[in-house]
Structure 1
Amino acid sequence: MGADLATVLMVFAVLTDGDIPTESFWLGSGPGKVGGLERHSTVEADISPNREDFYLGCGDNHHLSSRLFQQNVYYATQDPNKQFSLDCMSKQWAANGKFSVKNNPYLYYFPFPSIVATAAFNFYPNFFSNGTYGAGGVANYESISSIIGAKLNKNTGQFEYVPERWPAQGWYRRSTEYGAVQALTEAFTRIYPSYPVSMLFPQAQGGTLDAKTALCYIYQGLNSVTPLALAGEEQAAAAGITWALSKLLAVGLDGTTLGCPASTLSPNTYLYPNATNKGGPLNEPASVAANIGSNVYYKTYFTSAPTTPKCSHSS
């Protein structure tokens, strides 16, 4: 990875999920149990190559989705070289984008995180291929499935999520740097054009856009540009605004955070009023909380498409 691309990603991570004075960031929750790269609606966005959206996955946006990787493998088999090429990943982006726009009323695809979300698709061939992609390296099934932790269960035809590993035949990293200019160029000229998702209320493309989903989108957008040091204040202010708006029944809110149901928010919500009370308006439902946390391997997740939040999805 080029120093310029690494710097772009690092700055974004430190700003929204880290500590500016020490120029560090957290993978899990930071001080006050807020933040971390795993937090949804900061760096982590919807429309992932092979993970489900946070809302539709009922909080599970981190386990490998069997049905999405099946789809990705199909596109790879249609590739002239049977690889997870840029064209293959462009088709995966289009299919996933269309699905999210249609089915996820709380789709999170804001300008800053959209860079990470979209570039993740061209990262597959460029970072996961065996050797340098475009210079003899191969983004084949053996390399991709090993690195992302997918293993075919031949009895069921589904993909299990297993520990990420190097390919059995060995693996060689890139011999040239992959910089910010190339990453952004490929993301927005090779991936994104196959299905341009609006960064301003994507639900308007064919999903559900109303006062509630629009307000939720605005709140998640604020999350994406709010330094972690101010996150608590931002959330407290949002809770106060929500209380006032909830008095206006015509708006259709029900005590959630600027239109976001509790099931759309990552587990940093206990800074909000009443969050410690059972059934509090800003607690995640137990079904969502159960799906947030460490990866659990050797299981199969999402064998069918979650067109509505799917809280029981593993076997």
Structure 2
Amino acid sequence: MHISSLALSALPLLGSVAAWPGYARSLHGSGPGTVGPILSRAAAPYSTQYPYTGAILDGKPGKGVGGIPVPAPGDTAHYFEAPPPGAQRGPCPGMNTLANHGFISRDGLTTWTELVAGMQNVWNVQYELAVLLAVLGIATDGDPVTEMLSIGDQVTQAIGHEGEFTGNYGGLSKHNSFELDVSLTRDDFYLHGDAHTFNATLFQMMAETAAEIHNGTAIFDFDAVALHRARRYNQSIAENPWIVFPSAEIHNYGAGVFVFEAFPSSARNMTPDLETISSFFGAVPLGNGKYGSQPERIPEGWHNRVSILNSSIIGDGGQDQYNAYPVPFVVGDGTGKLYNLSSTSLVGGCTTYQTAIDTAGSSPNPVATYEFVRRRLDPIYASLGCPNSTSLAMFLGDI
């Protein structure tokens, strides 16, 4: 984001909140930033014996039939394993979970085809949405030539091919790309120079909010997640003088929808209870209201959602969370002064397609990323006529 291109106006500092207790920060497994060789572990193959929703590693849609146990009983290839030596893990609990079960590469260096199949088979994500999310992740933080992505730190040599490197690609842990301030369970980068590590105290804060509004029982539903995000915003305003909360944050609200729409088990009436949600976040109750940390995993006996998780559920759910507690999009100048940034909303159709195209403009190699985005999204958006609205010449004229 180029601040100089945005219209800024002074904004008084919002009311502060009481400082949350000292952060209990713990790195899952080997985690991002690990120094040393990566033990290569590709995604486990799918078989006809355990078809899940029917997606395989070919980039094509599955059948979208959910309500099935994941991992399937007997499918040892997709049972939980702790991250292998040197494995990359990052700020997204969903991606970390997929890697810990081999639905994407256990080393955390995944591919477009792994992502598309994994999101369908585990979360029963709509094919078109899985394609879009995989494209945005790689276009933002991955290698557009190999179509690979580190779900943790930057490991350019590991995800690229000799003689075909087009830039240094940051991985999902790169700050202010996919990973942004005001995370549900990760610190703002300013506080510790680390915005990818799970913060057990922030999970405790979310669990206490969930219990507060549900008569003492922690249920991580829409209301709980929306209120927790609002409180995290106020906390960041109070603690982070360099906060960056641009309009792109609205997409993080969409990611938060996974907590109550993708993580709950259909075998438990899709209830986002503490036992289920803590497993996906890698939070371990310590018995005193506090939490420790362990690698993220799918809970025992878990079944994915019956109906497809589509873009409308994510988009509407994210926008509704923001609308429940609307706050200004701001950037701090380090002195306590905040400046307003332009606002936006979660959108669909050709506007989403164009947003993905525009993402390529900030890539280390815009042309390579532009070609990747079009290669993967044009078939999805062709019926809407979106690909007809752009060309390489037009794209290059805009960056």
Check whether the contact 2:142–2:169 (CA below 8 A) recurs between aligned residues: no
Does the alignment pair 1:63 with 2:204? no
Determine the C-alpha separation between the residues in 2 that align with 1:19 and 1:131: 35
Match of 2:306 in 1: 175
Using the TM superposition, give the Cα deviation of residue 84 of structure 1 relative to its aligned residue in structure 2, in angstroms: 0.7
User: CA offset at residue 85 of structure 1?
Assistant: 0.6
Maintained 8 Å contact 1:63/1:161:
no
Aligned partner of residue 302 in structure 2, secondary structure: coil
Does structure 1 retain, via aligned residues, the 8 Å contact 2:221–2:260? yes
> Distance in 2 between the 1:107 and 1:225 partners?
24
Moved more, 40-49 or 24-33: 24-33
* 1:153 aligned residue: 286
- In the TM superposition, residue 50 of structure 1 has moved relative to its aligned partner by 1.3
Q: Between the two proteins, what is the percent identity of the paired residues? A: 28
Q: Is the 8 A contact 1:129 1:139 kept in 2?
A: yes
Could you tell me which amino acid in structure 1 is paired with residue 338 of structure 2?
L
* Alignment counterpart, residue 96 of structure 1, candidates 220, 229, 232: 232
1:58-207 equivalences under 5 Å are 58-77=192-211, 78-79=213-214, 82-112=218-248, 114-131=249-266, 136-154=269-287, 157-168=289-300, 170-189=301-320, 191-199=321-329, 201-203=330-332, 207=336
- Residue type of the partner of 2:295? P
Change (3 A) 1:147 1:226: same
SS for the counterpart of 2:129 is helix
Rounded to whole Å, the distance in 1 between the matches of 2:207 and 2:361 is 35
Offset, 1:167: 2.4
Structure 1 length normalisation: TM-score?
Answer: 0.59
Question: How many Å separate the matches in 2 of 1:223 and 1:41?
Answer: 13
Match of 2:262, SS state, is: helix
Relative CO higher for 1 or 2, CA cutoff 8 Å, sep ≥ 6? Answer: 1
Matched to 1:65, the amino acid is N
Equivalent in the alignment of 1:209: 338
- Whether contact under 8 Å (2:245, 2:331) holds in the other structure is yes
Alpha carbons of 1:147 and 1:95: their partners in 2 closer, same or farther (altered >3 Å)?
same
Q: Match for residue 184 of structure 2?
A: 49
Q: Within 1, Cα distance between the matches of 2:266 and 2:186? A: 25
Match of 1:228, SS state, is coil
Measure, in 1, the Cα distance between the counterparts of 2:291 and 2:260: 20
Give the aligned partner of residue 111 of structure 2.
none
- Please, which runs of 5 or more residues in structure 1 have no aligned partner? 215-221, 231-315
- Cα distance in 2 for residues equivalent to 1:5 and 1:209: 35
Residues 126-152 of structure 1 deviation map (CA, whole Å, 9 limit, x = unaligned): 11111289xx31110110011111112
Residues 166 and 20 (structure 1 numbering): CA distance in 2 closer, same or farther, change over 3 Å?
Answer: closer
User: In the alignment, which residue of structure 2 is the partner of 1:278?
Assistant: none
Whole-Å Cα distance in 2 between the matches of residues 88 and 180 of structure 1? 21
Contact 2:250 2:322 in 1 (8 A): no
Whether 2:133 is the aligned partner of 1:9: answer yes
Please say if residues 128 and 144 of structure 1, whose CA atoms lie closer than 8 Å, have aligned partners that are also in contact: yes
- Root-mean-square deviation (Å): 3.1
* Aligned CA distance change for structure 1 residues 97 and 224 (closer, same or farther; 3 Å): farther
Please tell me the residue identity of whatever aligns with 2:326: P
Q: Which runs of 5+ in 2 are unaligned?
A: 1-124, 158-166, 342-357, 367-399
Q: CA deviation at 1:207?
A: 4.9
Instruction: Provide the rounded CA distance (Å) in 2 between the counterparts of 1:98 and 1:15.
Output: 31
Q: What does residue 241 of structure 1 align with?
A: none
Relative to the length of structure 2, the TM-score reads: 0.48
CA distance in 1, matches of 2:294, 2:168: 28
Q: How has the CA–CA distance of structure 1 residues 6 and 173 changed in structure 2, closer, same or farther, with 3 Å as cutoff?
A: same
Please give the per-residue CA displacement for 1:109-134, whole angstroms capped at 9, x wherever unaligned: 3333x24321232210111111289x
Q: Distance in 1 between matches of 2:247 and 2:134?
A: 17
The 1:151/1:180 distance shift into structure 2, 3 A limit, reads same
Corresponding residue of 1:36: 171
Q: What is the rounded CA distance, in whole Å, between the counterparts of 1:107 and 1:8 in structure 2?
A: 28
**Cα contact 1:43–1:224 (8 A) shared by 2:** no
Cα distance in 1, alignment partners of residues 360 and 143 from structure 2: 15
Q: What SS does the aligned partner of 2:338 have?
A: coil
Q: Give the count of matched residue pairs.
A: 213
